Structure 1
Amino acid sequence: MRRHLVAAGAALVLVTGLNGVTHAQTAPAAAAVAKPMDAAERRDVIEKLATALKANFLFPDIGARYAGQLRANLAAGAYEGLTDPTAFGEKVTSDLQALAKDGHLRLAPESAWNTPRPPAADIPASARASGPPGLEDARMIGDVAYLRFNQFVDEPPEPEKARAFLLAHADAKAVIIDARPHRGGGLAVMDAILPLLYAKTTHLVRMDTRAGIEDSGPLTDGPTLVRQASPPTLVSHDHVVTPDKGETRLQKVPVYYLTSRRSASAAEHLALAFKRTHRATLVGETTRGAGHYGGVLEVGDRFGAFVPVGRSYDPDTNWDWEGKGVTPNVAVPTDQALDEALKLAKAAGAHPG
């Protein structure tokens, strides 16, 4: 995915899209990971993480509180005796989450960012990825166009693949977008396919980014990201879709969006966009509740921290899904969501076979 270096003070944050599955660019050697931590390294990591959170975290007051708590814990000896990097990262993460919970904030050895965490054992098969990141499946089910994503990958050819499938099947009588295994990503896929689904220019959601990092960060002004008035600590953009004028047939058909409790980050961005604009019916389970976007910051020689620098939300109500998730219009168990969406499509006039 596209990476951006986001500068804020002395900190550099590696940001990829909107998601929580960003990985560090390189993994340290296994021997380096296994080397026990000493007091000097623990102190160095805590100080660098505290500085980065104060400079970059979405909410300046919470970033300052995080920094103060980490330094207080270090002075009180809370991290003494932690020589295993993984255990140290888990302890620091737990301390931060106890102060102010955030679905993305995490400290871990850099090697952990190169190894995606497996889904929990209770995650149904329909919510598990079954292919490489991106568009897992695109096919017709009768006259219903079906697309399944496990991630929104910004790099070509992923956005073009999704758009090309819809263009090739623009005579479909309904569209189903399956985001049940979806763990995050960027805006490019949405920007490629949504003009085919919306009949009028629509403001989808608002995105606030910590001021001072936006120029080289995840969001820049453009046709789909329109700058809005904001307080001095933030830079606000509306994510906007403008209808495709060359192909309009899918702008009139019903759209169904499948969700699970595993659907996270950019998947939730689209869920809220569809729900608040009434363009799609959400079918499945309440999403995960990871609403703050950001990226992985290198902390010391062998750690990375995902530092949230922004949030997406409903500009009419100021509501976001952090810690809550987006609820479906039609609540059914994850494994039943596709069958339910096909029933709804059939009732609306489609013929899924």
Structure 2
Amino acid sequence: MKPTFIKQTCRLLCAATTLLLSSNMPTFAQTVSDADAHEIVAKLGDRLVDVYPFPEISAKYKADLLKNEAAGHYHNLSESELAAKLTADMRATHKDVHLRVSRNEESYKSMTEPRSRRGGARTSEDNSNERANYGFKRVEVDGITSTAYVEIPGPFLASQEALDMAAASMNMCAYSKYVILDVRHNPGGTGQMGRFLASYFYPTGREQFYLNGFYKDRQRDEQEWTYSYVPGRHMPDAKVYILTGRGTGSASEGFAYAMQQLKRATIVGDTSAGAGIAGGNVALKNNLVAFVPVKMVVGPHDNHGWEGIGVIPDVETGKEDALAATHNLILQDILKNSTDTVQKAAAQWVLDDAGIAANASVNMKAKYGELIGKYNSNLTITYVKGELLWNRVEPGKPIESYPLKEVKPDVLVVTGLNANIGPNVSRVYINRDAKGKVESLTRKTLGGNGRISTTAMPIKKI
């Protein structure tokens, strides 16, 4: 092959490659012209002045945007860079975490083009909400303490499917005395979902003034109330705990804030994001979309909200896990306030479990070596490789061994036994005579319904 031909071929390939790469370059790298940047800044500033709830702040937003543009801050930027710069500059003027500009080609087209020009028929449905179970991740019910836990990473949606999931979740909680609602990672969405959830914790027909919305045009102000009826059983007597964190934003903050102000829930965790002004999207230009706040949301009986402050928990947990802290609060509440002796005994059992880890260094052979031996009911206790073992011996079956750990003096947990019910639900209580010698053992089991059962006969050595 001749060298000239090879060079020509390489030039053609390089040119084709360059053309291919340039045709596939992401459009967000395209530089926004000065004229378009001016139009974007003008439209954004005018929109803020028109609808932002606080006139003095919106006037400052517009003035600073125009000043920055005159200084050339928005020249020679790509679409994404311009969006990020506008957002940063507005938050430097006044930190409203709702107010932002982003590059979103799909949203921009849906807002500016007729449906027939939006790229033709879609080849597949966006089922991301369906995959995420419409914002509801899991429900766990603990029969031992009568506690229901609902994890709601969100976002809050107002579709039929989302409300169905909310109703299904609430119905799983229907007979629990304690309900934990976890919105620590919920970015927000529609306020209707929060009102829907709140409605379950009031009697049917007892609507509550939930939140108040203020617009720049005060004639549009609106009150938000809980719903008179929601499907399923209402829980007006359940004690409610809402878990919040830095990831709790907007409408999920509104839910926590309203329930706190109504004194219907205890808020546990960390201070939320502080996004308390609701709004909507505005198409600017060059695929840029602005989320512009239009409604300041405040408490049901005052003029204060959580904007810029966040929802401050009743119980701040710091580095401690908010869910673990809430479970502890519930156990303490049961012991202090419950009149149910079964529930109180179960709560004390769970609290005592903290001693298992605390006593991990106990020399079990030195302290409880007297237990080693053979017992009735096909049982032996042995000491193997540093562990005291509870062994279940049945003819024709493999020996089942479970380590014994100290819960508190003369109370041992048989770790792993009856694990189908729960962790640490089987215990051995040591009965001693007047001289302190082991006389017999009693085994107790904490059932899934919170009842503690006891072996009919004492377990003795043979």
Scaled by the length of structure 1, the TM-score of the pair is 0.74
Which of 162, 165, 168 in structure 1 is aligned with 2:169?
165
Matched letter for residue 79 of structure 2: P
SS in structure 1 at match of 2:179? strand
Please point out which of 190, 198, 209 is paired with 1:203: 209
1:33-182 mapped onto 2 (5 Å cutoff): 33-80=28-75, 82-111=76-105, 131=132, 134-142=135-143, 143-150=146-153, 151-182=155-186
Over aligned residue pairs, what C-alpha RMSD do you find? Answer: 2.7
Structure 2: how far apart are the matches of 1:68 and 1:282? 39
Hey, what's the Cα distance between the residues in 2 that align with 1:269 and 1:177? 14
Structure 1 window deviating more from structure 2 (256-265 vs 183-192): it is 183-192
The 1:316/1:159 distance shift into structure 2, 3 A limit, reads: same
Say if 2:133 and 2:165, in contact at 8 Å, map to a contact too: no
- What is the CA–CA distance in structure 2 between the aligned matches of 1:308 and 1:70, rounded to whole Å? 17
Post-superposition offset of 1:257: 0.3
Q: Distance in 2 between matches of 1:339 and 1:52?
A: 45
Who is 1:188 aligned against? 192
1:251 aligned residue: 236
Structure 1: stretches of 5+ with no match in the other structure: 1-28, 115-129, 212-230
Q: Is the 8 A contact 2:245 2:270 kept in 1?
A: yes
TM superposition shift of 1:172: 1.1
Query: How many percent of aligned residue pairs carry the same amino acid?
Result: 28
Assess, with a 3 A threshold, how the Cα gap between structure 1 residues 347 and 112 changes in structure 2: closer, same or farther.
Answer: farther
Return 101-110 or 238-247, whichever deviates more: 238-247
Structure 1 residues 283 and 113, CA gap change in structure 2 (3 angstroms) = farther
Decide whether aligned partners of structure 1 residues 177 and 30 sit closer, same or farther in structure 2, where only a CA change above 3 A counts.
Answer: farther
TM-score, L = length of structure 2: 0.57
Larger radius of gyration: 2
Which one-letter code corresponds to 1:194 in the other structure? A
Q: Is the 8 A contact 1:145 1:166 kept in 2?
A: no
CA distance in 2, matches of 1:205, 1:309: 15
1:239 equivalent in structure 2: 224
> In 2, are the aligned partners of 1:160 and 1:192 still within 8 Å (CA)?
no
Structure 2 stretches lacking a partner, 5+ long: 1-23, 109-130, 335-342, 348-447, 449-462
Paired with 1:41 and 1:311, the residues of 2 have a C-alpha distance of 31
- SS of 1:185's partner is coil
Judging changes above 3 Å, is the alpha-carbon distance between structure 1 residues 169 and 71 closer, same or farther for their aligned structure 2 residues? closer
Count of residues paired in the alignment: 288
Give, in angstroms, the shift of residue 189 of structure 1. 2.3
Change (3 A) 1:154 1:244: closer
